Every structure is written in C-alpha cells, then in structure tokens.
Amino acid sequence: MGEVLRIAGGKRLEGEVWLPTAKNSLLPILAASLLCAGPVRVRQVPRLTDVDNSLELLRAAGMKARREGEDLSLSPGQPGTGSLPDGPVGAMRSSVFYLAPMLHRCGRVSMTLPGGCPLGPRPIDIHLDGLARMGAEGGWRGERLTLEAPEGLRGVDYTLRLPSVGATETLLMAAVRAKGITVLRGAAREPEVVDLARFLMACGAHICGAGTGTIWIQGQERLSGAVYRPVADRIVGATVLAAAAATGGRVTLRRCVPAHLEAVVEVLVRAGCQAQRLGPAALMLEAPPRLEGAGLVRAGEYPAFPTDAAPIVAAAFLRARGNSHFEDTVFASRFSCAAGFSALGAGVQAAGRRLDIRPFGPLKGACVTAPDLRGGAALAVAALQAEGVSLIGGTAHIRRGYGDLAALLRRLGADARWQDEESTRTFDGNKGKNFLVSCAESSIRP
Ligand code: EPZ
C-alpha cells in the first residue's frame, strides 16, 4: 500500500528548527570511511533511506557498521570482493562515491549504473576520466562498470571539464591515498566538498585549497579513523526558510551556517522578508503575509543560488504579487514539480531549464506526485499555502533526503502527516465525490 504526505494548508509557520546533518556531506563521508585503517564515528546521522542504502554498500565492502544512538560507528573488517549489490547502487547517485575508496580497499570495483533523482542526463564521465588518469583500468560492459587498479592509484595534475561536485569528491578520495601529489583544477567549491576534505584531514590526509577551484593533495599510504560531525544541511535550511516565506511565517534556524544560505536569504529579502543573523550558527527570517515577485533567480555552482533549493524556493513564490523566473544552469530537468504546482492552481510554466511563475488565483489542495527529492519538498511548500487538503505521493523520493518532513513542518505549526493512501480516501470521504474522483484520477503512485 502506498504512503502519501497529507498537508492541510493555510497555517502560518512559526518556530525554531535545529538543522540536521547534510545528506550530501554525509554520503561521501560514509564512502570515504572505506579509506580508513581505523574506526570512524560519524555524529548525528539522520534516518534517511540513502543512509540505509549506504550502510548496505559499506557492509558489502567489508565494513562493520552499526547505529549507536544518533551516531554511526564504522570499523574495517575483511575487504570484500569489490562487487557492490545492484539494489542500493541503483537506488541512489551516491553509489558513485564508492568507486575510488573500493579501488584503494579492494583493488577493484564492480557495480551497476548509479541511480538518483531524474534531473536530466547525469553522466559520470569526469569521475571515470579522472580515475583513469590516476591509473584505474576497465570500463562499462553493458550496464556494469568494472574498474581495477592493480598497481594502485597515482597522483596527477587534472583539470575537471566542469566543476562537478561528485567528481571533485571522487577524485579527492582517490588522491588522498594515491602515490604522490594530485592537483585538481576546476574543482567544485560547494560546502559539502569542503566538509569531505575536513573529514579526510581529520583522518590524517594532507589537503590544501578545498573550497577553491584548485585543490592540492599529498597522498598518504594510510589514513586513521576519526570522530566527525558533518556540516548542517543547507537544503533543509532552505526548505524551512521557503516554508516560512510561503506562509507569512517567522522561523529561526539553529545549528546552521548562515554563509551557506546567503544566496537563498538574499532572494527572500528582495521579496520582502526580513532576515537577521543571531550569532555564528543561527538565522532568523520573518516573512510578510505575501511576497513580492522574485524577479530572475539563476541557480548555479556555489556560491550562486543552490540548484537543490531552486524548486523549493520557487514554490514559496506561487502566491507572490509579482512575476518570478527561476533558471537552473546545473541540471536540465530541475522543475518537474511544475505539473504539481499547476494542479494546485498556480500560474506556472516550465520550459527546459526555466520555470516562470506569474500571479494567479488562490492555490487549492490537490493530489500531486513528487517527481524527485527536491521537487517533493517543493510540493510540500506549495501545499502549505493551498486552501484545503493536499496529498503528495511519491514519498519515497522525499524520504531519501528528509528524515521526517511531516514532523519537521508540524514542529512549526503545520498540519502535516504521513498517511497510507487507502486510509486517506476513507478519512477524506466527507469532502465528497469530486475529491475522491480527483484522487483516483491523479497520478499518486508512491
Ligand atoms: C550533487 O550531485 C548532489 N548530490 C546534488 O544533490 C546536487 O544537486 C549537485 O551535486 C549540484 O550541487 C549529492 O551530493 C549526492 P554534479 P552530483 O556532478 O555530484 C554534470 C539532491 O537532491 N556532470 O555537480 O551528481 C551533471 O550531469 C541532489 O540532494 C557531467 O556531465 O552533481 C550535471 O549537469 C540532487 N559529468 C552537472 O555536471 C560528470 O562526470 C553537475 O553535476 C559529472 C557531472
């Protein structure tokens, strides 16, 4: 039986949220633990399906992994054969992070195509090209990728063809235990890259320049373990800010890095919100009852507006007084949630990398489907502003990146909860036939 996220809109959100650990920092760090000879303890690990899948991969690679309260404890056991199970590999993009650590740990890696959100083409050519320059041999046979490094990996001077976050992280993990010095040019500068470098340095790696376009790495034969708490999740932060902005609310983010949210806050302030830093790790945002239009917002590489936040913040502008235009320069299909926005009654048009929003009538609750992780969060932000009940299907996407989005929103006063699809039909029967028919005809297929 499928699950839906049920949101009754119209509540003004108010309160305080402690940001969880960033999924996109945590997942490469979990893979990087395979590079360590000693135990690793990762602090405050949220319960995400991507973490469950990572644990399966780590165990297949011979790591002993167990949860201890909020922490994850990882220690090296016997290295496996280098083959990774198809299920978890195909369930997330982050399985690509296992290539370099497995080459160091097992001398080989064999896996199927990594999965992840359908955001347009997501090739891994830069990961593979960089690894090949460092001495990895092999390639695709059908949909199976097998790489070997019989002589180990060696340092190189490598220029990435574009600043891919994932490829920078792959090559960083390859370089910290390669023979000699690696220079990565044209590297991604995202906070999650810096966080991975910090974790690796805590384990004894020598890295200089993470967070800039050029990273120098002196390879080490051995890395120890470490106790590490990854950085706070800036995209969950952006989600909470967008939810407050959408509902004329007021929220305080705690355990956040305000600098990581600067581009998002700037757009919301331009639209009439007030923001204030409350010390080094807290940020308050207060929204007017209705936002002004956002104008043109262009998402790109850090420190530009984050691509992951684009559909979510766009959702806050569905009721705005003026026009908003969001453009994503990173992924080709970032705005698949536009169909859901339209179903809720918004005046939106998505074409290619662009989403245009114009003032339209009020939003009305509807049955919609999350097309991907951030698109799902965007539909939740949209539903918070709609009159009546919305049901969001495709919740498996949302659960990959938000521990419990319903609980997070409820803490701020929203009427949001998970329900199984069948009981939703019965529960909302008093809304009459039209509502049931629209649900039955909608594309809820979690
Ligand atoms: C990471 O994806 C994040 N995922 C994404 O978050 C995030 O949107 C993205 O970085 C950009 O910030 C994880 O960290 C697990 P890229 P990644 O490599 O590494 C092209 C979320 O919702 N490219 O920087 O896959 C690619 O097609 C997710 O949490 C190549 O052409 O992003 C894309 O257009 C979604 N060849 C662009 O680069 C390559 O070898 C940027 O991708 C690699 C990438």
Q: Is 389 helix (H, G, I), strand (E, B) or coil?
A: strand
Q: Could you tell me which residues come within 8 angstroms of residue 358 by beta carbon, excluding any fewer than 6 positions away?
A: 323, 347, 348
Name the burial class of residue 364, with classes exposed (0-12), middle (13-18) and buried (19+) by CB atoms within 10 angstroms of its CB: middle
Q: What angle do CA 30, 123, 189 make, to 5 degrees?
A: 55
Furthest-apart CA atoms within the chain: distance in Å: 70
Ligand 1 in reach of 299 Cβ (< 6 A): no
Q: Is 318 in the pocket of ligand 1 (CB under 6 A)?
A: no
- What is the 83 CA–ligand 1 centroid distance (Å)? 24
* Per-residue pLDDT, 423: 65
**Pocket residue to mutate for ligand 1, from 53, 93, 158, 165, most atoms within 8 A of Cβ:** 165
Please tell me the predicted confidence (pLDDT) of residue 150.
Answer: 86
Q: Is 165 in the pocket of ligand 1 (CB under 6 A)?
A: yes
Pocket perturbation via mutation, ligand 1, pick of 89, 122, 374 by most ligand atoms within 8 A of CB = 122
The single-letter code of the amino acid at 30 is L
Contact 57, 91 (CB under 8 A): no
Residue with tokens 């805590």: 202
Residue nearest to atom 8 of ligand 1 (CA): 308
Amino acid type, 258: P
Chain centroid to CA 278: 25
Report the nearest-CA residue for atom 43 of ligand 1.
124
Nearest ligand 1 atom to the CA of 124 is: 40
What is this structure's pTM?
Answer: 0.95
Distance in Å, CA 191 to ligand 1 centroid: 14
**Amino acid identity of 382?**
A
Name the pairing type of β-strands 214-218 and 389-393. Answer: unpaired
Tokens 């850090």 belong to which residue?
Answer: 302
Ligand 1, atom nearest to 401 Cα: 29
- DSSP class of 38: S
- Indicate whether residue 406 lines ligand 1 (CB < 6 A): no
CB of 374 within 6 A of ligand 1: the answer is: yes
> Which atom of ligand 1 lies closest to the CA of 235?
29
Cβ 51 under 6 angstroms from ligand 1:
no
CA–CA separation, 277 and 398 (whole Å): 29
Domains defined along the chain, listed by start: 3-20+232-443 (3.65.10.10), 23-228 (3.65.10.10)
Integer Cα distance of 125 and 44 in angstroms: 33
Q: Tens place of pLDDT for every residue, the chain, 446 residues?
A: 489 999 999 999 999 999 999 999 999 999 999 999 999 999 999 999 999 999 999 999 999 999 999 999 999 998 888 999 999 999 999 999 999 999 999 999 999 999 988 999 899 999 999 999 999 999 999 999 999 998 899 999 999 999 999 999 999 999 999 999 999 999 999 999 999 999 999 999 999 999 999 999 999 999 999 999 999 999 999 999 999 999 999 999 999 999 999 999 999 999 999 999 999 999 999 999 999 999 999 999 999 999 999 999 999 999 999 999 999 999 999 999 999 999 999 999 999 999 999 998 899 999 999 999 999 999 999 999 999 999 999 999 999 999 999 999 999 999 999 998 776 654 444 343 333 334 444 443 32
- What is the 167 CA–ligand 1 centroid distance (Å)? 8
What does the pLDDT read at residue 440?
A: 43
The question of whether 117 is a catalytic residue gets the answer yes
Residue 245 token pair: 């902005």
State if residue 125 touches ligand 1 by the CB under 6 angstroms criterion: yes
Q: How far is CA 369 from the centre of its chain?
A: 18
164 alpha carbon to ligand 1 midpoint, in Å?
6
Please state, in angstroms and rounded to a whole number, the distance separating the CA atoms of residues 410 and 394.
20
Q: Is the CB of 370 under 6 A from ligand 1?
A: no
Ligand 1 pocket member 195 (CB < 6 A): no
User: Which residue CA neighbors atom 31 of ligand 1 most closely?
Assistant: 123
With a 6 A CB cut-off, is 309 part of the ligand 1 pocket?
A: no
Which residue has the CA at smallest separation from atom 41 of ligand 1?
164
- 295-300 and 324-328 as β-strands: parallel, antiparallel, unpaired? parallel
Q: What is the pLDDT of residue 438?
A: 45
Q: Determine the distance separating the centroid of ligand 1 and the alpha carbon of 320, expressed in angstroms.
A: 30
- What pLDDT shows up at residue 424? 60
Active-site position among 117, 203, 256, 367: 117
